[in-house]
A and B are shown apart, each in its own frame.
Chain A
């Protein structure tokens, strides 16, 4: 996946999240900070991990009948 694809997908995702009433700022900030080469702090890494864990938990939960 090239950088442009990632950017486009990020924008689509931002719009989808916005439509769903979600705050896009944390994801966009993580994208920019991480790919700018910034070393994450312990707190930032922990927040990122918690968000990813929550996302995986929601997606992986069994589908209701």
Chain B
């Protein structure tokens, strides 16, 4: 019942807003390399995108540690950690650059975070995580 309720809530919240195109644009903006100023809205978008992705990884890790997954899950986690461990310091810099309107460095940091997200997503998909 809870599963069905969550499905209904998620579907109605996302689809019911009738702004799927804007949603798609935001996703595209959060995954494409940019040269334009990084706004707080863009910062929030990339943080939400990262949060959704990392929440999935956290669930994968927990399931792995419970022994619910194949033994190679530990190796998969280590492979993804190569990238995810690079994210916090860059993210910290990005937040500071955006809040101080240091756009030159903000753009570099923003593109670096996006590349790291793309890199670990590639490893995750190649390892069968999230498929």
Identify the A interface with B (CB < 8 A): 1-3, 6-7, 9-20, 24, 27-32, 34-37, 39-40, 44-45, 48-49, 51-53, 55-60, 63-64
Contacts and interface: CB of A to CB of B under 8 A. Distances in A.
Nearest to B4: A15
Nearest to A53: B88
B27 to A, nearest CB: 5
**For the complex of A and B, 9 pairs with smallest distance between CB atoms:** A3-B24, A35-B23, A40-B44, A55-B54, A35-B26, A11-B10, A34-B48, A16-B59, A14-B6
Contact of A48 (B20, B44, B55, B81): B44
Given A27-B52, A40-B41, A64-B65, A15 B7 contact: yes
Interface string B81-100: 10011011001000100000
A14 B30 CA distance: 21
Contacts, number: 143
B40 A30 contact: no
Chain B: interface residue count, which band?
35 or more
Given A14-B7, A28-B9, A37-B41, A9 B78 contact: no
B10 A28 contact: yes
